[in-house]
Structure 1
Amino acid sequence: MLLTFPLLDARALERARAVLANAPWKDGRDSAGDQAAQAKNNTQMPRDCREARELSAMVLQALDASPMFLSAALPARIFPPRFNRYGGQSNHYGPHVDSAVRFAENGLRVRTDLSCTVFFSDPADYEGGELVLHGPDGQQSLKLPAGHAVLYPASQVHEVKPVTRGDRLACFFWVQSLVRSDSQRRLLLEFDQALTVLRQQGGDNESTVALTGTYHNLLRMWSET
């Protein structure tokens, strides 16, 4: 399941860009595994710098306030957000698959069910830099407005095309979901969205209460905590 949604409002974006303008950067290959390091050519903000901590808190707060993210991802654990830049000579990330388990600096282990990218740069500010997802039905190319996020299965082969003008600034992280199966998460999201519409149209009644119970019983059956 691939999902795009707005995450950061104009005020948050303005602050994020001010922080990013003065942020330190280093070789992004330092955080990649053996296979990914051969394909990775970008720069990345040190995870323990002041700027990274501030932006990470901003993104996590926005995720916690996003009904779409919470309903689609059903997060159990979130790997602390990190931040990268593509431009100049460090401008692409070739086809790769994310590691199945990520180890955070606080000892947290996160099974990477879902990958998420949050775009900070407007598409007009750079050329190239598309996030390309490779799947059984072909390729999907994404270049989202600033402040928007894309959520997709971490098991998919994906890449970032070379940036040929400007800089592409983004946030990335992984989610361990309460529900491991992508197809089950999709069904729960569709169920939740349809139930929300029914409640908006007719309020709570005997049928919506019963359907809410069915949703939670499915989540209870499929979730891992």
Structure 2
Amino acid sequence: MLLIIENLLSKDEVKQFRSHMEQAAWEPGVKTAGSLARSAKQNLQLDDASELATSLRNHILRKLGQHSLFISAALPGKIYPPKFNCYTNGGTYGTHIDSAIMPVPGTNLSVRGDLSATLFLSEPNEYVGGELEIDGVLGGEGIKLAAGDMVLYSSGFEHRVNPVTQGARFASFFWVESYVRDEKQRAILFDLDQTIQKLTPKLEAGDKELLKLTGLYHNLLRAWATT
């Protein structure tokens, strides 16, 4: 699956993020790459333990927790704490697949990567290149969203970030462990939930058919979810 979530952050929120990020100390992204990705990863990242990364991360998590479309699509059980990167001066990330299991630094927890997310923090006209290409999705067409928009997609796809030849591409990225592990089951629940949400304002309160659909949704979720 692939879903574009527009305006997760407002333009004012993006502006505040960028004002801090552009003055931050960045470190080579290869420091956090897995063994197979080290040769492919050429970017910069914020230190996850820094006060700035913690503040920005918590803001994104609050926004995600209030976003009904994200919750409907992802059914998030766990979210790997958002990280922040910058691609510039030819920075790129070659073809790779995200790790299946990711330990969360400083905790005894780990997150299974069912879904991957990239939240764009640069406008498309601020940099050249930097498209996110996901094999098997959109015919491999590159994704380059407006600042504040986010793409959510299945973690099992090979993907890459094309070289940024001019400007700088700032973004946040993270992974989601869904309550519903199976992608097809998750897609069915998402379609059903979206249908219920669209019908609700059109029908009278207590409509029997709507109640049946709602009951079907929760019974399927009960059958398929793991906690």
How far does residue 10 in structure 1 lie from its aligned partner after superposition? 2.1
Secondary structure of the corresponding residue to residue 171 of structure 1: strand
Residue type of the alignment partner of 1:4: I
Give the match for residue 212 of structure 1. Answer: 214
> Within 2, Cα distance between the matches of 1:128 and 1:172?
18
> Within 2, Cα distance between the matches of 1:200 and 1:99?
41
Give the match for residue 147 of structure 1. Answer: 148
> Within 2, Cα distance between the matches of 1:36 and 1:28?
11
Residue type of the alignment partner of 1:216: H
Give the match for residue 51 of structure 2. Answer: 50
How far does residue 18 in structure 1 lie from its aligned partner after superposition? 1.5
Count matched residues: 224
Q: Name structure 1 gaps, 5 residues minimum.
A: none
Residue type of the alignment partner of 1:108: L
Output aligned runs, 1:14-163, within 5 Å: 14-89=15-90, 91-105=91-105, 106-135=107-136, 138-163=139-164
Residue type of the alignment partner of 1:57: N
Give the match for residue 8 of structure 1. Answer: 9
How far does residue 80 in structure 1 lie from its aligned partner after superposition? 0.5
How far does residue 207 in structure 1 lie from its aligned partner after superposition? 1.1
How far does residue 137 in structure 1 lie from its aligned partner after superposition? 7.5
- Given the alignment of the two structures, is residue 183 of structure 1 paired with residue 184 of structure 2, yes or no? yes
Deviation sequence 1:144-193 (CA, Å, 0-9, x none): 00000000011100000000110000000000000001111111111011
Residue type of the alignment partner of 1:207: E
How far does residue 122 in structure 1 lie from its aligned partner after superposition? 0.3
How far does residue 14 in structure 1 lie from its aligned partner after superposition? 1.9
> Within 1, Cα distance between the matches of 2:76 and 2:30?
27
Give the match for residue 171 of structure 1. Answer: 172
Secondary structure of the corresponding residue to residue 212 of structure 2: helix
How far does residue 136 in structure 1 lie from its aligned partner after superposition? 7.6
How far does residue 17 in structure 1 lie from its aligned partner after superposition? 1.1
How far does residue 118 in structure 1 lie from its aligned partner after superposition? 0.1
CA-based RMSD: 1.2
Secondary structure of the corresponding residue to residue 117 of structure 1: strand
Residue type of the alignment partner of 2:217: Y
- CA contact under 8 A between 2:2 and 2:137: conserved in structure 1? no
How far does residue 19 in structure 1 lie from its aligned partner after superposition? 1.5
Identity of aligned residues (%): 42
Deviation sequence 1:95-128 (CA, Å, 0-9, x none): 0001100011122200000000000000010010
* Partner residue of 1:224 out of 213, 223, 226: 226
- CA contact under 8 A between 2:117 and 2:175: conserved in structure 1? yes
Residue type of the alignment partner of 2:97: V
- CA contact under 8 A between 2:116 and 2:175: conserved in structure 1? yes
